[in-house]
């Protein structure tokens, strides 16, 4: 079974609008972390936001927020006020267990295009 | 955030030759580094986990004799693609975990390998 599922291969959004990128996950470990990364065409992976499984509140970082619904096992990324520079590939990832030395498992990604 | 560098950024080589890719954590010590491979339009697939001073842990299906990993110090891990073939052409990305707020992985800029 897929551990991380991103069902939207591609998304379009109008500049200045908000957009939600979907991510669902599957784990039996009670301790896990969820990450979102942005990968522009240059290939670098840029960390955006993190949500821990025990965090009570949804994570926010500037224009990025994570809609964490634990019972549904979903961790959707919301980008508010989209900018042209937001056009990129977005990956959801999960780390199971505690400790930074544990591996990340990535979803298949969503290609976001922001339209002027 | 923490900085991870990779060298070279691009390499083109002939089939049958070996290529070494370096991954360095510039401003922090990383006991664990990760090596990923990414084919065009696809997600990152973990190849191996590199531990300083010990043997790397390879993912299922990754040939350890073909992809040699050495983690000689807390700031340097190397991936050597031995006897490269055209099917090894890919984007190789390393990452390192820091002791940051979220224990997130910081990624290098990637190395694009083309085997002729």
**A61 has a chain B CB within 8 A of its CB:** no
- Judged against a pLDDT cut of 80, whether residue B20 lies above it is answered with yes
pLDDT digit string (tens) for B85-96?
999 999 999 999
Query: For residue B102, what pLDDT is reported?
Result: 65
Q: Which residue do the tokens 């964490």 mark?
A: A68
Cβ-count burial of A63 within 10 angstroms (0-12 exposed, 13-18 middle, 19+ buried)?
A: middle
- Cβ within 8 Å, pair B104-A109: no
Report the SS3 class of residue A92: strand
Phi, psi of A86 (to 5 degrees): -80, -10
- Judged against a pLDDT cut of 70, whether residue A1 lies above it is answered with no
- Judged against a pLDDT cut of 80, whether residue A2 lies above it is answered with no
Beta bridge partners of B111: B92
Q: Interface of chain B against chain A, CB under 8 Å?
A: 1, 31-32, 34, 42-46, 49, 91, 93, 95, 97-99, 101-107, 109-110, 112
pLDDT digit string (tens) for B24-61?
999 888 888 999 999 998 999 999 998 888 889 999 99
Given CA atoms B109, A18, A85, A42 in this order, what sign does their dihedral have? positive
- Judged against a pLDDT cut of 70, whether residue B1 lies above it is answered with no
- On whether the CB atoms of residues B4 and B24 are closer than 8 A, the answer is yes
- Cβ within 8 Å, pair B97-A100: yes
Q: Which residues of chain B have a CB within 8 Å of the CB of A52?
A: 102
pLDDT digit string (tens) for A57-105?
999 999 999 999 999 999 999 999 999 999 999 999 999 987 767 889 9
- Cβ within 8 Å, pair A108-B43: yes
Q: Which residues of chain B have a CB within 8 Å of the CB of A45?
A: 44, 93, 95, 107, 110
Report how far residue B56's alpha carbon sits from residue A33's, in angstroms, rounded to the nearest whole number: 23
Beta bridge partners of B79: B21, B69
- On whether the CB atoms of residues A84 and A58 are closer than 8 A, the answer is no
Query: For residue A92, what pLDDT is reported?
Result: 98
Which token pair is B70?
């050495």
């Amino acid at each position: 079974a897929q551990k991380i599922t991103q069902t939207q291969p591609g998304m379009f959004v109008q500049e200045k609008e908000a957009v939600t990128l979907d991510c669902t996950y599957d784990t039996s470990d009670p301790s896990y972390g969820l990450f979102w990364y942005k990968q522009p065409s240059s290939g670098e992976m840029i960390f955006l936001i993190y949500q821990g499984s025990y965090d009570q509140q949804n994570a926010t970082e500037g224009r990025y927020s994570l809609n964490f619904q634990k019972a549904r096992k979903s961790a959707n990324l919301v980008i508010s006020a989209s900018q042209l520079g937001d056009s990129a590939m977005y990956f959801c990832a999960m780390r199971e267990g505690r400790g930074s030395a544990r591996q990340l498992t990535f979803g298949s990604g969503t290609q976001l295009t922001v339209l002027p | 955030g923490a900085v991870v560098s990779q060298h070279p950024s691009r390499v083109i080589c002939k089939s049958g030759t070996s290529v070494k890719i370096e991954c360095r954590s510039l401003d922090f010590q990383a006991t664990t580094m990760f090596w990923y491979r990414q084919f065009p339009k696809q997600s990152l697939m973990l190849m191996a986990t590199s531990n300083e001073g010990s043997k790397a842990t390879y993912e299922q299906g990754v040939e350890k004799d073909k992809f040699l990993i050495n983690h000689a110090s807390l700031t340097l891990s190397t991936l050597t693609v031995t006897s490269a073939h055209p099917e090894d052409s890919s984007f190789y990305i390393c990452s390192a975990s820091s002791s940051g707020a979220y224990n997130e992985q910081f990624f290098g800029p990637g190395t694009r390998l083309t085997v002729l």
